Amino acid sequence: MSIDQATIDAHGFSPEEYQRLLEILGREPTITELGIFSVMWSEHCSYKSSRLHLRRFPTDGPRVVQGPGENAGAVDIGDGITAVFKIESHNHPSFIEPYQGAATGVGGIIRDIFTMGARPIALLNSLRFGEIDNPATRRLVDGVVAGIAGYGNSIGIPTVGGEIAFEPAYAGNPLVNVFCLGVAKADALAMGVASGAGNPVYYVGAKTGRDGIHGATMASAEFDEHSADKRPAVQVGDPFMEKLLLEACLEVMRTDALVGIQDMGAAGLTCSTSEMGARGDAGIEIDVALVPQRETGMTPYEIMLSESQERMLLVAQRGREAEVEQVFEKWDLHAVRIGEVTGDGLLRIRDQGQVVAEIPNRPLADRAPLYDRPTTRPAYLDDANHLDLATLSPPADPRRIWLDLLGTPAVASKRWVYRQYDHMVRTNTVVLPGMGAGVVRVKGTERALVFSLDGNGRHCFLDPAEGGRLAVAEAARNVACAGAVPIGATNCLNFGNPERSEIMWQFSQAVDGIAEACRALDVPITGGNVSLYNETDGQAIYPTPVLGVVGVLDDVTHVLTRVFPEPDLEIVLLGEPAGGLGGSEYLKQAHSLVRGTPAPVDLDRERALQALLVDAARGRWIRSAHDGSDGGLAVTLAECCVESGAVGAQVDLPGSVEMDERFGVVQALFGEAPSRVVVSVATGQRERLLSGARERSIPAVVIGRTGGDRIRLAVAGEQVADIGLDEAEQVWGQGLTRHFEAVASKEA
């Protein structure tokens, strides 16, 4: 049967792409082949709009064990152990069905990690929603948080932190990015590769259903008839099944009877078979009739494109089938042999013996479309970058603004969220959520892994290149604030429609910024994810790259958190006192403006600062360290006091010659700038810290002392604001909770 033009169009092929398909096959495709090409060449699987740009990332370094291209990246952390990590988005599914969308996102990223042979030990997430007082937001937040909790808690991997922000730009397109970290013995990494003709190909895990088949609009007659109306749009997660898969897969990897393994994520069987074959330069032949199915009457097309969750594809050594099967039996799973590796380089799909697709593997992967899409600097920037303080009135009462900022969702305690996550299971969580970067010890060593996710859509909206640099710098700085050396990165690039040149410009700029900062700070990108088309009715999200940086703390007892540990310690500001107001939380909160340009990062200074922090932690010169971020130093200092066990502070912030006459105090209190950290100094260690800073040309000044039951702030000797610790705890503690608990009590 010939494929008609409507079917080709419905599968999203451009005429050039279809021509290329014909060249590769040398004939017309079957409907199954069309489906396979369609998903493999989709934006999601082929990265056709972004691949060209992603090449600019630094991906190599002495510690990199596995760069991009595998299921996850890996870096060497010493003692013969590698850290395996990756971030991924599940934005679109989470908008349609928040609980399952988020849950299956967590399930997917966990599979990516254990597929590499690593035991997953920690999860983080980065979430973006519309304005918090929008009722639709609350429903989404409730569902997404419950979905992340439902999956992570059940499978027993702690969710140890993350970030959450609320901006109108995300109202129609929330972002759900999830990060997973695992550890593996350096010599035990598994790969998603199929090789060795005659080796058996196994299918393990949940049965295949019609869930998550993309392009449900496909318009072939046989399609409508059989299934078009039956396809549920959302996949459903089963963390229990995944727990069994996790344990069984890790156990089977220890037998060395395994050649390769890959999870069936996006594009399910299609992606796993063709990618494993392409990596191993081999062919794979399977019979879809052997695939365990939970629905009747599924076509080969549907089986190949299903995105049912919790499924794995394995290639085992021929002759060792029994060993592999026994391990899965122990876990009440059945490894089903569905085919074998071949030497002909073809992806051959049979249905009860009859060939329904036969595609050369390498060209399917290697000749995927690649676009250099046009870029244009967006017109909005000229206006948005223009910030004229003369048109604004400085606040009459800085204290009021300070409290407002402490209670704003971006700043306030995220306890309402993280207490729903089991963040302590596996007994490695050294730093509880909300106290700084995620820190998990690595049992059997003295070390800990430290990691942080950061990204600021407002910054990227105003200057995507700078926003990219700032995101890398902040994530790495958060890792360094815990005392760890940043050694690797992953990123999730969330943008709008790449076919719009303004969006593509944002993307390209952000990539440039990220690449530059990763190079400067020595954190190669080892993998990640791109999520495009995050827009509704032509309204794109803020360009939002989320950076995950992973670091190593050689001695876990050196770990630092944000809080002042006790009274009577000197407080030192590392970095420039003056901050900018462009794109700041202050401007949003006090003037409802997203304007200006974010203060730029000096990457040499940043690198030096992070090195100083690591030395200061190692030398025990400092007792706490907290990155100055949203809300400026006033907020940073308050964050050093809340949850500290009632340690207040008295601080005098230096004035600056660059201070605006009217906004000087505001800039000192609420201005934002990178490369700034507030530390409390160990008794008797001030001079070592200050001379360490001098050697690295980092401004450092004693700004006050810890203690008392208030937080008192002066600027250039003049007292400007003062709040009681109780009030600060109350406002900060309730800032997020009050929006959600109010709803809960109404429902109850």
Partner 1 sequence: MKFAVIEFPGSNCDHDAYHATKHVLGQQAEFVWHKETDLRGADVVVLPGGFSYGDYLRTGAIARFSPVMGRVCEFAHAGGPVIGICNGFQVLLEVGLLKGALLRNNRLKFLCEHIHVRVEQTDTPFTSGAVAGQVLTLPIAHGEGNFYASPETLAALEANRQVVFRYCAEDGAQSDAANPNGSAHAIAGVCNVGRNVVGLMPHPERACESMLGSADGRVVLESVISTLAATGAA
Q: Binder to partner 1 among 155, 180, 412, 574 (CB under 8 A)?
A: 155
- 244 in contact with partner 1 (CB under 8 A): yes
Q: Cβ atoms within 10 A of the Cβ of 501, count?
A: 14
Shortest separation between residue 683's beta carbon and partner 1, angstroms: 22
Shortest separation between residue 569's beta carbon and partner 1, angstroms: 21
Cβ distance to partner 1 smaller for residue 13 or 564: 564
Cβ distance to partner 1 smaller for residue 203 or 418: 418
CA of residue 747 relative to chain centroid, distance = 32
- Tell me the CA end-to-end span of the chain in Å, nearest whole number: 59
Shortest separation between residue 588's beta carbon and partner 1, angstroms: 29
Angle (CA) 3-221-219 rounded to 5° is 70
What residues does 337 pair with on adjacent strands? 202
Cβ distance to partner 1 smaller for residue 81 or 359: 81
Cα(566)–Cα(553) distance, integer angstroms: 23
Cβ distance to partner 1 smaller for residue 190 or 431: 431
Cβ distance to partner 1 smaller for residue 90 or 426: 426
Q: Binder to partner 1 among 51, 56, 92, 243 (CB under 8 A)?
A: 243
Exposure string for 166-205, b = 16+ CB within 10 A, e = fewer? bbebbbbbbbbbbbbbbbbeeebbbbbbbbbeebbbbbbb
Length, in residues, of the chain: 748
Residue for token digits 């700032």? 470
- 104 in contact with partner 1 (CB under 8 A): no
Cα(476)–Cα(77) distance, integer angstroms: 16
Element (H, E) at 144: helix 135-155
Instruction: Return the range that interacts with partner 1 (CB under 8 A); candidates 20-28, 92-100, 327-335, 451-459.
Output: 327-335
Query: Is 44 tagged catalytic?
Result: yes
Shortest separation between residue 238's beta carbon and partner 1, angstroms: 7
And the tokens for 356? Answer: 């329904």
Shortest separation between residue 246's beta carbon and partner 1, angstroms: 10
DSSP letters spanning 729-740? HHHHHHTTHHHH
Alpha carbon of 282 to those of 24, 320, 344, 350: distances in Å? 17, 20, 7, 17
Shortest separation between residue 159's beta carbon and partner 1, angstroms: 9
Element (H, E) at 337: strand 336-342
> For the window 414-433, what string marks contact with partner 1 as x by the rule CB under 8 A?
----xxxxxxxxxx-xx-x-
Angle (CA) 147-153-155 rounded to 5° is 105
- 371 in contact with partner 1 (CB under 8 A): no
Shortest separation between residue 684's beta carbon and partner 1, angstroms: 25
Q: Which residue in the list 11, 44, 214, 626 is annotated as catalytic?
A: 44
Shortest separation between residue 156's beta carbon and partner 1, angstroms: 2
Q: Binder to partner 1 among 443, 697, 719, 724 (CB under 8 A)?
A: 443
Cβ distance to partner 1 smaller for residue 24 or 556: 556
> For the window 183-222, what string marks contact with partner 1 as x by the rule CB under 8 A?
----------------------------------------
Q: Binder to partner 1 among 59, 154, 306, 309 (CB under 8 A)?
A: 154
CA 371, 376, 377, 380 torsion: positive or negative?
A: negative
- 149 in contact with partner 1 (CB under 8 A): yes
* DSSP designation for 50: T
Cα(395)–Cα(391) distance, integer angstroms: 13
- 744 in contact with partner 1 (CB under 8 A): yes
Cβ distance to partner 1 smaller for residue 148 or 169: 148
Per-residue H/E/C for 209-230: CCCCCCCCCCCCHHHHHHCHHH
Cα(516)–Cα(501) distance, integer angstroms: 22
- 554 in contact with partner 1 (CB under 8 A): no
Alpha carbon of 363 to those of 16, 301, 345: distances in Å? 15, 20, 10
Query: Is 423 tagged catalytic?
Result: no
Q: Binder to partner 1 among 15, 156, 297, 724 (CB under 8 A)?
A: 156
Q: Which residue in the list 90, 459, 558, 626 is annotated as catalytic?
A: 90
Instruction: Return the range that interacts with partner 1 (CB under 8 A); candidates 28-36, 150-158, 253-261, 591-599.
Output: 150-158
Q: Residue 705, SS3?
A: strand
Q: Binder to partner 1 among 240, 354, 372, 604 (CB under 8 A)?
A: 240
Paired sense of beta strands 677-681 and 718-724, if any? unpaired
Instruction: Return the range that interacts with partner 1 (CB under 8 A); candidates 147-155, 470-478, 536-544, 612-620.
Output: 147-155
- 118 in contact with partner 1 (CB under 8 A): no
Shortest separation between residue 173's beta carbon and partner 1, angstroms: 26
Q: Assess contact for 264 and 271: CB atoms under 8 A.
A: yes
The residue ranges that bind partner 1 (CB under 8 A) are: 146, 149-150, 153-156, 238-241, 243-244, 330-332, 418-427, 429-430, 432, 441, 443, 556-557, 744
Q: What are the catalytic residues?
A: 44, 90
